[in-house]
Structure 1
Amino acid sequence: MSRPLRIEYAGALYHVTSRGNERKPIYREEVDFCLFLDVLAEVCHRFNWVIHSWCLMTNHYHLVVETPDGNLSAGMRQLNGVYTKRFNRRYGRVGHLFQGRYKAILVDKSAYLMELSRYVVLNPVRKTGVRKPGSGLDS
């Protein structure tokens, strides 16, 4: 049985998450967070993405992504693939970094964008007990 196709269209907004394989860390050191953000910036430029909010946790990430060109799958393949290659090269490892397929939930921009962005940026506060968003990259 094949997996369902993603709904993609110009101007779509998604809540995207991807978790480390076996729930293991996808960022080991602070430089890894920066590496991921560099790859994300490259993807945003190449695929014309708009990131409304994001959160990097030790073993997963959240993105609120708008795709003006309706190209989520192509951009996610680039994001997770390039980051995995760079991470593996850095640590002398091979194989999957991410657990299965990323999750992407289509979001109604007018009704849910503000609440979703609040959820994403407050994720470290709820999950790890940091005092405020942005108070540590490894949170």
Structure 2
Amino acid sequence: MPRQKRIWGPNRYYHIVCRGNRRDPLFRNASDFQAFLHILQQLHAKFPFQLASYCLMNNHYHLQIRSEEVSLSKLMSLINKRYANYYNTKHRLSGHVFEKRFYDNLIEDKERMLEVSRYIHLNPVEAKMTRKPEHYPWSSCYLYKYPHSAAPCFMHVDSLLGYYEGTREQRSEKYCRSLMIQ
């Protein structure tokens, strides 16, 4: 029986999760993390998309993403294929890098947007990889904690900060407080 086609709504945010095959590491060192972020930048230039938050863990990653022009299935296929090619070449491997199709969940409202971003940003804390989420280098949390940081081209922090009033610094502070990030 064939898989059901994924439903995609342009300009709608989704929570995406991809895991390494057999829960093996997807990222073995800093250059692997950097390569993944570089792939996102390259693809953003061809197929515009926006991330509200992201977190790259050792054996999986989370994206809070929306795409205007290209379906998420196509976009995720391109991201995962490019990264799998990089990973297999660099580590002299062959075969599957990812466990299965990506998990996706449509985010319907403001409360869910904030809940998903909280979950994504607190992932390294829950995994006991860091005590403060803004200190984890492979997450977008630092962009909210330190609002003057240079954001990658694919990041759209205003999609979350837009729920708050005030200056950019005030909105960042309120967002971080809502995540209980002090």
Distance 2:73 2:138 in 1: 27
Structure having the larger proportion of residues in strand: 1
Percent pairwise identity? 36
Q: Which residues of 2 match residues 1-139 of structure 1 at below 5 A? A: 1-137=1-137
Distance 1:134 1:97 in 2: 28
SS of 2:34's equivalent in the other structure is helix
- The TM-score with structure 2 as length reference comes to 0.71
Q: Report which of the two structures shows the higher radius of gyration computed on alpha carbons.
A: 2
Distance 2:64 2:70 in 1: 14
When structure 1 is superposed on structure 2, of 37-46 and 85-94 the one drifting more is 37-46
1:9/1:37 CA distance change after superposition, 3 Å = same
Distance 2:138 2:36 in 1: 13
SS of 2:133's equivalent in the other structure is coil
Contact 1:107 1:113 in 2 (8 A): yes
Aligned-pair distance for 1:5? 1.2
Runs of 4+ displaced beyond 4 Å: none
Structure with more contact order per residue of length (Cα contacts < 8 Å, sep ≥ 6):
1
Distance 1:60 1:115 in 2: 19
Aligned-pair distance for 1:46? 1.9
1:118/1:138 CA distance change after superposition, 3 Å = closer
SS of 1:128's equivalent in the other structure is coil
Contact 2:14 2:64 in 1 (8 A): yes
When structure 1 is superposed on structure 2, of 30-39 and 129-138 the one drifting more is 129-138
SS of 1:63's equivalent in the other structure is strand
User: Which runs of 5 or more structure 1 residues have no equivalent in the other structure?
Assistant: none
1:138/1:41 CA distance change after superposition, 3 Å = closer
SS of 1:12's equivalent in the other structure is coil
Aligned-pair distance for 1:108? 1.0
For this pair of structures, how many residues does the alignment match? 139
